[in-house]
Homo-oligomer: A and B are copies of this chain.
Amino acid sequence: MDRIKSMQAFSAVVSEGSFAAAAEKLNTSSQLVSKYVAQLEDYLGVRLLNRTTRKINLTEVGQQYAANVKQLLEQIAEIEHRVGAMHTETSGQLRISAPVSFAISHLSGMISDFQTDYPQVTVDLQLNDRKVDILHEGFDIALRIGHLKNSSLIGKFIAPVHLKFYAAPSYLKEFGTPQHPKELAEHRRLIYSYSENDGSEIMGYWFKNLDTQSKLPMVSNNGDVLVQAAVAGHGIALQPTFIAQQACNEGKLVSILNEHAPPSMGLYAVYAHRKLLPRKIRAFLDFSEGYFGNPPVWDS
C-alpha cells in the first residue's frame, strides 16, 4: 500500500466532497479512490469518513487527520520541489581536486570561464597532487594526469598530456646532450615525487640507478620547482609540456630526446558514478570537453 497515494486520495475526497470528484481530480477511477481510502482506514484502524451514496461526512478522527494530512502533503510537495530544483538548476558547490602545477598555469582561467557560464555554481578548487579519495574526501571531480586505472570511478578524457625531457642550454653545454635514453643514467636528474615507473622502456632508463646520490640533485612534488631547477642548470627534468614549454620557447630550456618521449598521457576528470549525475558535475564535464583544444593550447 502506498500511504502517500492513499493520503492524497483521502485528502482529495475531503476537499472535493465526493469520491467521484476526487477521482476526476486525481485522474483515476472512483473505485480506486474508494479502495485507497478503505485501505487507509484499515491501516489506521479508524473510520475517517462516514459515507452514504450521496454525502460525505468526516468523523471526528477524520477531521483531525485530514488537517494533518493536508499539511503533510504540502510539505512533501515542497521538499520534492526543492530537491528537483536543486537538481535541475545547475547550482550548488562543485568541489574539484586538481594537480597543483596544472591548476596554477591553466585551470584558473578555465574555472573562471566556467563560472561566467554557470554563476550559480560555486567552485571549491583544492590543489593537491595526491590521488585523493573523491568519495571519502567529498570531491565531486578530481582532475588527474596520467593513465586511467581500473576503478569504480569514471574518467573523462579532457586533453592529451605529453612529457618531454628538458634541460638548460648551460647544463647541456657542461654535461653534454644525451643522444639516447640509456645515457640518462649518467645525468643529474630532477625527479617528480609522484611520478611512477609504468614499466615502459623509456621510464626504465629514467629511473635507472637513482640510488647514486650524485645523479639526484633534487626531488620535488611540484613540477614548477623542478622546471626552475632545470632552468638554473641543475639537471634534466622530465615534465609535461604544459609546465615547461614556455621556458623552452623563451630559450631557457631545450627539449631533448624528442624521438624517445615517454608514452603520452592524458588529463582526466575523474568522478564517482554513472547515473543521476548532478547537473553541476554534468555541466563541468561538458564544459571541459575540448576546452583546451587539440592539440592543447600549451602545445601549439
Contacts and interface: CB of A to CB of B under 8 A. Distances in A.
Contacts of A277: 47
Number of copies of this chain that the complex holds: 2
Given A55-B136, A72-B75, A87-B46, A276 B82 contact: no
Contacts of A278: 46-47, 59-61
A138 interface: yes
A45 interface: yes
A140 to B, nearest CB: 8
B79 A72 contact: yes
A259 interface: no
Interface string A51-89: 010010101110011001100100110011011101100
A135 B44 contact: no
A31 interface: no
B276 A41 contact: yes
Given A4-B3, A92-B60, A84 B135 contact: no
A86 B64 CA distance: 10
A50 interface: yes
B136 A44 contact: no
Contact of A61 (B86, B138, B275): B86
Contacts of A64: 82-83, 86
A76 B80 contact: no
The 3 residue pairs across chains A and B that have the minimum distance between CB atoms: A47-B276, A68-B79, A46-B87
Given A50-B135, A50-B273, A65-B79, 6 more contacts: A4-B4, A41-B276, A46-B86, A46-B87, A47-B277, A64-B86
